[in-house]
Structure 1
Amino acid sequence: MPAGKELSKREKGTILGLKKAGYSNLKIAKEINRSEKAVRTVVRDPDGQNRRPRTGRPKILSPRARRQMFRLACKQGMSSAKIKSTINLSCSRSTVCRAQWDTEIAKYVKRKAAPALMSDHKLRRVSFAQEKAISYFDWKRVLFSDEKKFNLDGPDGCQFYWHDSRLPPEIFSKRVASGGSVMVWAVISAHGTSEIKILEGRLNQDGAGFHRAHVVKAWLEDENISTMSWTAKSPDLSPIENLWADLVLSVYANGRQFETVEELRAQVLLSWAQVKLERLQSLVDDMPTRMALVLRSAGAKINR
């Protein structure tokens, strides 16, 4: 019977750690989805002193080549084809690509979009967070409003890159833009949501470059709601952004696309009606943590 895939250093460390914690070999095997025999071998011989060398075809990529590939992918953002030519590898481009996928540290992830933060923006974010933290601000009294654009073919800005999981995630700056799509506006709080409003034309309520819409101001005045100042270029501080992300996953579930604006509008309304109160409460409860993270990062973007 051929030998299975060799255990990684991380897997071996997990095995020894769980064994030290009192786990049985069988339970460890189930935890890491490996055979009990493989677990038993590591427990008996952690350093592999008594193991015979594995037979079979040697790997075409040396450890040194793999380290070079890792650096070029994560630090310079090179493609597999560019890496192959840069370090003059004799293997195919697909082999380079597979080797990158096999690493435990580098992951191919989507680059997150965020407005560019200047030093002045960061200072204002820190001041905003300090004010709210010192006053023990009651976020459950706040209504969070925002607009969102939904496209027929799916979300904008699908940028992926090789990410070193030991480092902070990358972002890219973007500008608000129009398009053939459905624009909506809504309000959320810890107590529920407003109706989601389908809008015609451009709208802004959270400090982007578009003019503030008269419909929003009129609605706030009609409902006798006072507005609070919000620090510019800080969508990461608002829980409604997380809810929009939830809505995107629901609207475009399983790669769903839409032929007409009417179909898209109907799905947006349906997904909005399915928002759960528990989700809203958890997002608002997270606001003090967001303020603390802003202070800890000296005003830089936070990941929530």
Structure 2
Amino acid sequence: MPRRPGQRDSTLETRGKLVTLWNEGVSKREIVERIRQVERWIRREQEGAENNRPLITLSRSSRRPILNDGDKENIIEQAANLPFTITTIIRDALQLNCSIYTVRRIINAGGLRCRRPARKPELTQDQANSRLQFAYDNLNRDWSRVIFTDEKTFCTSTDGKKVLWRSANTRYLPQNIQSSRRSGRISVGYWG
């Protein structure tokens, strides 16, 4: 692994050289010049050698995880069952003492990602059937002779941006679609 800038080389080989020079009776100043390490590091390693401490690098103990496996499973289950729920509400509902970033990392590790939902108008069954019938009726139509126009409506709304937790390639599943509703708050409409 490459060293970071300013990081000292404290490999087993260097430590072995240090102990060998110390046992040969070389002074600290000369050891510092030969090994190119700070004197404090050399003093610490020499004290370790005098106390018969092994030259191996001990593994560092990491922080104890704040959440157990059951908590993690509950977080992922909550996000999967209620995909439009934000991490703050998930954390508070499960009464967890962790940050929302921890909750987000656990949900991501469970295969769910925070995405913008597809916004589609909510159709009745009659509307869906008539659209499907139109598609079947015009299946063989020569569409090169048809002029297409588009309408863009700019609406004001207080809903804000919605997000949901979903897995990959599930954008258009019914549970992942946010139905758009018309409120009559249109400010400007354009045809093109």
TM-score, normalising length: structure 1:
0.36
Match of 1:148 in 2: 152
Q: Quick check: which has more Rg, 1 or 2?
A: 2
Going from structure 1 to structure 2, the CA distance change for 1:179 and 1:116 (only over 3 Å counts) comes to closer
Say whether 1:171 aligns with 2:178.
yes
Contact 1:115–1:174 (8 Å) recurs in 2: yes
Match of 1:90 in 2: 97
CA distance in 1, matches of 2:169, 2:70: 20
CA distance in 2, matches of 1:62, 1:139: 59
Going from structure 1 to structure 2, the CA distance change for 1:172 and 1:157 (only over 3 Å counts) comes to farther
Deviations 1:17-39 (A, max 9, x none): xxxxxxxxxxxxxxxxxxxxxxx
Going from structure 1 to structure 2, the CA distance change for 1:157 and 1:114 (only over 3 Å counts) comes to farther
- What one-letter code is carried by the residue in structure 1 that aligns with 2:78? L
Match of 2:162 in 1: 159
Contact 1:105–1:166 (8 Å) recurs in 2: no
The structural deviation recorded for 1:164 is 3.1
For the residue of structure 2 that corresponds to 1:88, the secondary structure is coil
Contact 2:117–2:177 (8 Å) recurs in 1: yes
Question: How many residues were matched structurally?
Answer: 129
CA distance in 1, matches of 2:75, 2:115: 17
For the residue of structure 2 that corresponds to 1:61, the secondary structure is coil
Match of 1:99 in 2: 106
Contact 1:106–1:162 (8 Å) recurs in 2: yes
Q: For 1:70-85, what aligned pairs fall within 5 Å after superposition?
A: 70-76=76-82, 77-85=84-92
Q: Percent identity?
A: 27
Match of 1:111 in 2: 117
Going from structure 1 to structure 2, the CA distance change for 1:120 and 1:110 (only over 3 Å counts) comes to same
Match of 2:73 in 1: 67
- Give the aligned CA root-mean-square deviation in angstroms: 3.2
The structural deviation recorded for 1:130 is 1.5
Runs of 4+ in structure 1 over 6 Å off? none
Going from structure 1 to structure 2, the CA distance change for 1:184 and 1:73 (only over 3 Å counts) comes to same
For the residue of structure 2 that corresponds to 1:145, the secondary structure is coil
Match of 1:204 in 2: none
The structural deviation recorded for 1:180 is 4.2
Going from structure 1 to structure 2, the CA distance change for 1:71 and 1:164 (only over 3 Å counts) comes to farther
Contact 1:107–1:162 (8 Å) recurs in 2: yes
Going from structure 1 to structure 2, the CA distance change for 1:89 and 1:178 (only over 3 Å counts) comes to closer
Structure 2 unmatched ranges of 5 or more: 3-58
Going from structure 1 to structure 2, the CA distance change for 1:60 and 1:80 (only over 3 Å counts) comes to same
